[in-house]
Structure 1
């Protein structure tokens, strides 16, 4: 999991609950408890994927684009983690004379890919509606 994925889930859950309203990036970042710059970065991807729509101007803001309650978290997980640059996360070097050092990056990369697939599978059967229901049932004994 990473922050952008979490922000996306939070935003879509919040906007689904408040589907008839629009929120500026400042308002929404306050509701999600993140910096507006962090929020806008996530919102641009959600906008590209048609999860949200935006209206510019004095009375503009972000709002949900239709019903996203059935959106699988695996879609968002892929969107916000598949292309994520982790920088250097593996040790060793292919040029090393040491067998362990020369193979470590390849082996750990394979494990990392398997880890990603496991998490993607885990999130496949969880939706934005499930998140919202978990929150509402705990606090208000209400369900969408």
Structure 2
């Protein structure tokens, strides 16, 4: 899985935490602990998908454009990371004399596709609001 998914979920949870305030890419980057240009790249993707709105200029930034209860992590995964579970390296050299080498890439492709489908089914059950609630619960546990 790539870091864009984590940055996107973190950024949306951050915006959901302060629903009436805009946040700049610098503010989000500071919260996520990454570079503002990485945040802008991810937020651009989220804007295209209709999850966030933007305002240019002084006092501008990003604002949550939808309800956190309506956005699932599966949607965010599809927008930022589909296909990222499959590694770029492929085993096997296509040697016609070896049944394993000839077929391993296809077999592994199917395994990674099935794993991604299972992950998406799991992420479909979790919303941005659920993430924010888990953050609040973790904070409460750490203060007691």
TM-score, with length taken from structure 2: 0.88
The 8 Å contact of residues 53 and 65 in structure 2, kept in 1 or not, is answered as yes
Report matched runs for 1:72-83 at 5 Å.
72-83=72-83
Which residue in 1 is equivalent to 2:138?
138
In structure 2, the partner of 1:50 is 50
Unaligned runs of 5+ in 1: none
Query: Aligned partners of 2:117, 2:103: CA distance in 1, in Å?
Result: 22
Equivalent pair of 1:93/1:105 in contact (CA under 8 Å): no
Runs of at least 5 residues in structure 2 that lack an aligned partner in the other structure: none
RMSD of equivalent CA atoms: 2.0
SS of the counterpart of 1:54?
Answer: strand
**1:21 is the counterpart of 2:21:** yes
Counterparts of 1:68-107 in structure 2, within 5 Å, are 68-84=68-84, 88-94=88-94, 96-107=96-107
Query: Counterpart of 1:65?
Result: 65
Shift of 1:140: 4.1
For the 8 Å contact 1:5–1:77, the answer to whether it is kept is yes
2:49·2:79 contact (CA, 8 Å) conserved in 1? no
> Secondary structure at 1:114's aligned position in 2?
helix
- TM normalised by structure 1 equals 0.88
- DSSP-derived class of the 2:130 partner: helix
Q: How many residues align?
A: 141
The equivalent of 1:108 in structure 2 is 108
Matched, 1:36 2:20: no
What are the equivalent positions in structure 2 for 1:4-19 lying under 5 Å apart? 4-19=4-19
- Quick one: distance in 1 between partners of 2:53 and 2:122? 28
